[in-house]
Amino acid sequence: MFAALILLPLAGAIVTWLIPYDRLRPKVLSLFALGHLGIVIHVLTFTPPESPGGWFHLDALGKIVLLSTSLLFLFCAVYSIGYLFYRRERSNRVLCIGLLICLAAASLVTITHHLGLMWVALETTTISMAPLIYFNRNARSIEATWKYLLICSVGVALALIGLYFLAYATIVAKVEPSLLLDDLMRDAGQLSSGWVHAAFVFLLVGFGSKMGLAPLHTWKPDAYGEAPGLVGAMLAGGLVNLAFLALLRVYQLCLATKEIAFFQNALVVMGLISMLFAAIFMARQADFKRMLAYSSVEHVGIMAVALGIGGKAIFGALFHILANGLTKGVLFLSSGNIHRSYNSKSTVQVRGALRRLPWSGGLFLAGFIAITGSPPFAPFISEFTIVSSAFMQGRMLVGALFLLSLAIIFIGMALTVLPMVMGDVPEDSEKTSYRDSLLTVGPPLVLLLMVFLLGVWIPQPLMDLLREGAALLEVPQ
Amino acid sequence: MITFADQLLVLVLLINFISLGTSRLMFSIRAVAAQGVILGVLPGLIHPFSWHLVGITAGIIAIKGLIIPLLLNRAVRSAEIKREVEPYLGYVPTLLLGALFTALSFGFASKLPLLAEHQNYMFVPASIATLMAGFLILTTRRKAISQVIGYLVLENGIFIFGLLLADAMPLMVEAGALLDLLVGTFVMGIVINHISREFSSLDTSRLTSLKEE
């Protein structure tokens, strides 16, 4: 079953490569996405046994990320049928191939317990997304692609040296040299602390830059701003979670080596810096896609802080993987529609979206309400869990800074979003052929419904999964 | 054999300085290719013979020594540029910084808790020094090609450290990492082509339209 998760999208990549028709390709993409989600649900219900040697092992943490990635991917794929119809001026072959290769690599990240293999897969996701950011083929998108490629590649290379340090620690400790998570955790007590410490620093910086934690986030606004909406959704709702999963693996190791306090403090500091950075740059953002990128910086910050606080907040962080991923889907897909309709990303030109595009405008507004942590949507549950856990553990300063940034971000985002959707469409606004249709509005609408449902009711199997995941990350007393 | 490996590592360090000090892109690419070939030979000198080793050696020499330099050469030729002009930091200061970092990495490595059998060899300091040289090139140069060269030197530095851990790294992972490097460089080469077409120069300092006001 593990092989199917990876081979199916790869087969899809080959099929989309062979198809000569631009109209047909997104439909095939959706079929493969549906098949992938089917397999994911199958492996979630009947967990396959650990592979011999322990290389492949789907645990609760991997399951959560796998589920959220596959779900989001399906909606992006269906959306692409409608969206790419408006982008007929250029071939979508590279886009479809890149998305499917990325899905295959993403599945590999979630199912492997071999840190070296996880690294290879993570780097593959980085590279496979680069041509997609360049979809618009203009000067701005090439600048974004260059920054993304260089910063993420260097970042992930630093994570590799972190992994090498870990492997060297096993050699110094004269235990069996290995990069398998389970072996490392078993031998954690004997590893030389100097090397392990250095490894954690490099891994945090490496995966942190891939995830876009401030101050390593500089590529993010550019890449998210220039990429097409559905690529932005996959970056902000999918790739971010994969990097977070890598950090969770490091966290598990830290727990085993008893070096956790140091790693937790670093996470809290980086997380809070990310949130404050986002708060500063979110206000008066002249480009609504860049605003969404800063929102992504904020939310990786939230997840990092939650991981750093520990306790109940871990549950919040794991739930936030799903909540943030799906809500980012709503926001990026609906913003893609608005962008198509106005042919502009400038918040000066985009006004009165509710009047021009009642559905997309409404979805964008609802997505904004959800992502800023207002009830009754899912991000409210996760953020509330995290804040209350901070206060319950007596981390007053962390809790206060967390709430302060959330408040500033709410105001800053509202100042940008509300004028965009309210009011009248400017007279001189460009007329385009884009109209809301079932295929471009349906996927974000269903995503929003799911975000709403998760906010009022978490199904029991998901609840068990989240609890099981949180148990893996509990700090032993 | 180990002393011979050490001599090769000295050569790697010298190549770092060549890349740091030259403005000619073609020369720099050739230097990095030579570095790649040396890295390909090194595993054979410090590990006993195995087919795994043969595969790795062939893979490294082919990818780092041949294919990647060819890709970069093509990018340079199609962009019709020969030299790095006006780096953010001049060549003499970068060379001095490079020397400083190399000295520091020797000091740093002697403080690390190394295995007794690695204590007297240069792998760890050479690795850190090469990593830092890569960083220096990456941050001080303007041209996109020079930045890729910096990235490759940085990767080489990481790779030298990896030589100490052949047992912990399965073939599949090493091959995967190499393949990622290859595809990554390939994509970078394409992007470089488009940069030169779009901006009629390879100057990344012209990539400034995406800035916060």
pLDDT tens digits for range A32-48: 999 999 999 999 998 88
A–B interface: beta-carbon pairs under 8 A: 119
pLDDT tens digits for range B131-190: 999 999 988 888 888 888 999 999 999 888 888 886 667 777 777 888 888 888 888 888
The shortest CB-CB distance from B187 to any of A117, A130, A171 is to A130
B194, part of any domain? yes
Among A127, A176, A290, A346, most B C-beta atoms within 10 A, so best to mutate, is A127
Return the pLDDT at A62: 94
Residues from B in contact with A at Cβ < 8 Å: 112-115, 131, 138, 144, 147, 151, 154-155, 158, 161-162, 164-165, 167-170, 172-173, 176-177, 179-180, 183-184, 187-188, 190-191, 194-195, 198-199, 204, 207-210, 212-213
B213, part of any domain? no
Per-domain boundaries in chain A = 2-472
Return the pLDDT at A407: 94
Higher-scoring residue by pLDDT: A330, A282:
A330
Exposed (0-12), middle (13-18) or buried (19+): which is B76, by Cβ within 10 Å? buried
Q: Tokens standing for A39?
A: 């397999």
Q: How far is A127 from chain B (nearest CA, A)?
A: 6
Average pLDDT over residues A78-83: 92
Contact call for residues B130 and B153 (beta carbons, < 8 A): yes
How many domains does chain B contain in total? 1
Return the pLDDT at B202: 63
Q: Which residues contact B139 (CB under 8 A, 6 or more apart)?
A: B88, B150
Which residue do the tokens 């995503």 mark? A447
Distance CA B28, CA A254 (A): 41
Give yes or no for residue A100 having a pLDDT over 90. yes
Q: Which of A21, A224, A38, A53 is nearest to A140 (CA)?
A: A224
User: Helices B144-162 and B123-140 meet at what angle, rounded to 10?
Assistant: 170
Q: Which of A298, A281, A313 is nearest to A236 (CA)?
A: A298
pLDDT level of residue A90 (50, 70, 90 thresholds): confident
User: Helices A60-85 and A25-45 meet at what angle, rounded to 10?
Assistant: 160
Q: Which residues of A touch B182 (CB under 8 A)?
A: none
Q: Which of A157, A142, A149, A112 is nearest to A128 (CA)?
A: A149
Contact assignment for B194 to A140 by CB distance below 8 Å:
no
Give yes or no for residue A305 having a pLDDT over 90. yes
Q: Which of A318, A280, A274, A316 is nearest to A299 (CA)?
A: A274
Distance CA A371, CA A375 (A): 10
pLDDT tens digits for range B20-48: 888 888 889 999 999 999 988 888 887 77
Return the pLDDT at A175: 81
The per-residue DSSP string of chain B comes to -HHHHHHHHHHHHHHHHHHHH--BHHHHHHHHHHHHHHHHHHHHHHS---HHHHHHHHHHIIIIIIIHHHHHHHHHHHHT--B--S-SS-HHHHHHHHHHHHHHHHHHHHHS---GGGTTSSHHHHHHHHHHHHHHHHHH--BHHHHHHHHHHHHHHHHHHHGGGTTTS-HHHHHHHHHHHHHHHHHHHHHHHHHHHHHSS-BGGG--SS---
Q: Which residues of A touch B147 (CB under 8 A)?
A: 150
Contact assignment for A117 to B173 by CB distance below 8 Å:
yes
Q: How far is A353 from chain B (nearest CA, A)?
A: 25
Q: Which residues pair with B83 in a beta bridge?
A: B24
The shortest CB-CB distance from A179 to any of B168, B180, B213 is to B168
Contact call for residues A133 and A227 (beta carbons, < 8 A): yes
Give yes or no for residue B95 having a pLDDT over 80. yes
pLDDT level of residue A269 (50, 70, 90 thresholds): very high
B182: containing domain? 2-164+171-200
Distance CA A403, CA A256 (A): 31
Number of residues that this document lists for chain A: 477
Q: What is the DSSP letter of A216?
A: S
B141, part of any domain? yes
B211, part of any domain? no
Give yes or no for residue A438 having a pLDDT over 60. yes
Higher-scoring residue by pLDDT: A42, A192:
A42
Long-range contacts of A356-363 (CB under 8 A, 24+ apart): A356/A425, A356/A429, A357/A436, A358/A436, A359/A436, A359/A441, A359/A445, A360/A334, A360/A436, A360/A440, A360/A441, A360/A444, A361/A334, A361/A420, A361/A421, A362/A421, A363/A330, A363/A333, A363/A334, A363/A441, A363/A444, A363/A445, A363/A448
Give yes or no for residue B201 having a pLDDT over 70. no
Q: Tokens standing for A225?
A: 């701003």
* Whole-number average pLDDT of chain A: 91
Give yes or no for residue B213 having a pLDDT over 60. no
The shortest CB-CB distance from A195 to any of B113, B168, B204 is to B113
pLDDT tens digits for range A233-267: 999 999 999 999 999 999 999 888 887 888 899 99
Return the pLDDT at A388: 94
Share of chain A above pLDDT 70, in %: 100
Contact assignment for A167 to B112 by CB distance below 8 Å:
no
Q: Which residues of B touch A130 (CB under 8 A)?
A: 187, 191
Residue B180 has, within 13 A of its CA and on its CB side, a CA count of 29
